[in-house]
């Protein structure tokens, strides 16, 4: 990549929701005036140290990015950086301060920008540890890679003529009926959601962060709890919440609810292999490293009681990072049987799980558990070219 004087590639850009990222970039290039610093409509200022690559991928608000960055206060104090130890950061757009959410979408892999972020687009009057109230922040960011996220579903209104009704009168459409049994009030469920106004304006979406792990009884929006109780795993419902009273003001609109609650596998008795007191099934054998005690690993997992009730899962969220030896004995043993990239299921007896004490309300004393585990990486997660 060649580098040209940044002043020749400085853009004047207004963030417009109806423009794609490449279209924004090309429009900004056409509007360039050769100034050293540009400003968006929101007040975000930026300078281009290395230009975006034409036709390369710009991240969206549901994507993740690998970056190197240095963040400083106005007096030059560094309050966060990836450049001291040389290890890039993986950031999820949509979960960052507003100035970074906006600014990172202007970049592509290979680009390097300097952002000046006013308090209104950062931590405001509250500040945070290391950042005083009403502080202007300076970020020097180099983008290395874009990892596509889940994306935001398209808005679809609920047509009353084809809708069903709950006992409380909410109208809903079944986009996918799912399979299996609906949850009980205190069963663990994992849901993706998208919330629009009745006119189709996006209000919130779990794709910005991660799926919601909760129970139907504890679901934040009480008016939707009755609907969640109707949804088997993999079901997708569209729900119309009218604004009929003050208690529903924040919840009113159209909701798309998708259950991604994992179902327990159909394991036959003769499918299990045995090592010591631990039984296991190999779904996929990896080819990478095998972890040892105290070594950090990144995993995705789901765990169930033998009744099929889900007790915990990372589905819909980020990879879970831990050290081998800090988990229940059955998983500590099981991980040391796996190679990076493997997917195993383990049938874990009580003495290798939570024993006679159990754990919380989901795991009673003496419970046998089944865990399905994917060993994503051995060692800390790293950016790889």
pLDDT tier at 385, thresholds 50, 70, 90 = low
In a domain, 383, yes or no: no
256 bridge partner residues: 194, 238
pLDDT of residue 271: 85
Give the structural domain span for 203: 160-259
Q: Looking at the structure, do residues 220 and 194 belong to the same domain, yes or no?
A: yes
Residue 208: its pLDDT value, please? 82
Answer yes or no: do 365 and 295 share one domain. yes
Kindly state whether residues 131 and 164 are assigned to the same domain: no
- Is residue 369 in some structural domain? yes
Specify whether 50 is located in the same domain as 133. Answer: yes
User: Is 210 within 8 Å of 181 (Cβ atoms)?
Assistant: no
Is 184 found in the same domain as 88? Answer: no
Long-range contacts of 217-225, Cβ-Cβ distance < 8 Å, separation of 24 or more: 217/185, 217/186, 219/191, 221/250, 221/251, 221/255, 223/168, 223/170, 223/247, 223/248, 223/251, 224/170, 224/251, 224/255, 224/257
- Same domain? 287 vs 236: no
Number of domains in the chain: 3
Residues 319 and 217 in one domain: no
* pLDDT tens track for 4-30: 333 332 332 333 333 344 444 444 443
| pLDDT tens string 260-285 | 999 998 888 888 999 988 999 999 99
The pLDDT score that the predictor gives to residue 86 is 87
241 & 296 share domain: no
Give the C-alpha distances (Å, rounded to integers) separating 165 from 156, 162, 290, 321. Answer: 17, 10, 52, 42
Is residue 66 a part of any domain in this protein? yes
Q: Residue 155 falls within a domain, yes or no?
A: no
pLDDT band for 245, please (50, 70, 90 cuts).
Answer: low
Tokens of 214: 């909760």
User: In this predicted model, what pLDDT tens digit does every residue of 317-352 receive, in sequence order?
Assistant: 889 999 999 999 999 999 999 999 999 999 999 999
Query: Which of 241, 259, 277 lies at the terminal end of a domain, its last residue?
Result: 259
Whose tokens are 């960055």? That residue is 69
Does some domain include residue 44?
yes
11 and 140 housed in the same domain: yes
The enclosing domain of 210 has a CATH number of 3.10.50.40
Closest CA to 293 of 337, 326, 322, 325: 325
Does the residue 178 lie in any domain? Answer: yes
Lowest mean pLDDT among 119-123, 171-175, 269-273, 301-305: 269-273
Boundary residue ending a domain (125, 147, 169): 147
End position of a domain, from candidates 221, 241, 259: 259
């Amino acid at each position: 990549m060649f580098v040209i004087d940044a002043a020749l590639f400085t853009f004047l850009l207004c963030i417009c929701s109806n423009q794609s990222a490449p279209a924004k970039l090309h429009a900004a290039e056409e509007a360039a005036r050769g100034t050293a610093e540009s400003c968006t409509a929101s007040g975000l200022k930026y300078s281009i140290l290395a230009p975006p690559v034409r036709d390369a991928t710009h991240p969206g608000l549901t994507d993740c990015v690998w970056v190197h960055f240095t963040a400083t206060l106005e007096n030059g104090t560094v309050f966060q950086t990836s450049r001291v130890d040389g290890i890039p950061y993986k950031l999820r757009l949509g979960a960052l301060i507003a100035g970074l959410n906006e600014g990172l979408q202007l970049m592509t892999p290979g680009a390097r920008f300097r952002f000046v972020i006013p308090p209104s687009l950062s931590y405001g009057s509250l500040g945070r540890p290391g950042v005083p109230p009403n502080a202007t922040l300076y970020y020097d960011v180099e983008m290395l890679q874009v990892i596509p996220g889940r994306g935001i579903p398209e808005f679809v209104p609920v047509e009353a003529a084809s809708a069903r009704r709950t006992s409380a009168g909410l109208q809903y459409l079944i986009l996918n009926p799912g399979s299996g049994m609906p949850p009980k009030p205190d069963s663990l469920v994992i849901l993706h959601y998208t919330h629009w106004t009745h006119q189709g304006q996006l209000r919130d979406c779990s794709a910005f962060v991660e799926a919601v792990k909760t129970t139907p009884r504890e679901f934040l929006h009480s008016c939707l709890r009755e609907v969640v109780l109707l949804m088997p795993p993999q079901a997708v419902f569209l729900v119309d919440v009218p604004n009929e009273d003050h208690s529903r003001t924040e919840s009113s609109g159209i909701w798309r609810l998708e259950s991604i609650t994992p179902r327990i596998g159909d394991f036959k008795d003769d499918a299990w292999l045995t090592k010591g007191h631990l039984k296991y099934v190999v779904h996929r054998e990896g080819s990478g490293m095998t972890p040892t005690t105290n070594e950090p690993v990144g995993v995705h997992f789901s765990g169930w009681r033998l009744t099929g009730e889900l007790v915990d899962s990372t589905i819909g969220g980020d990879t879970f990072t831990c050290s081998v030896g800090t988990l229940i004995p059955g998983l500590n043993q099981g991980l040391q049987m796996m190679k990076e990239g493997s997917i195993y299921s383990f049938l874990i007896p009580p003495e290798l799980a939570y024993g006679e004490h159990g754990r919380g309300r989901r795991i009673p004393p003496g419970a046998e558990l089944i865990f399905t585990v994917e060993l994503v990486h051995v060692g800390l997660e790293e950016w790889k070219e």
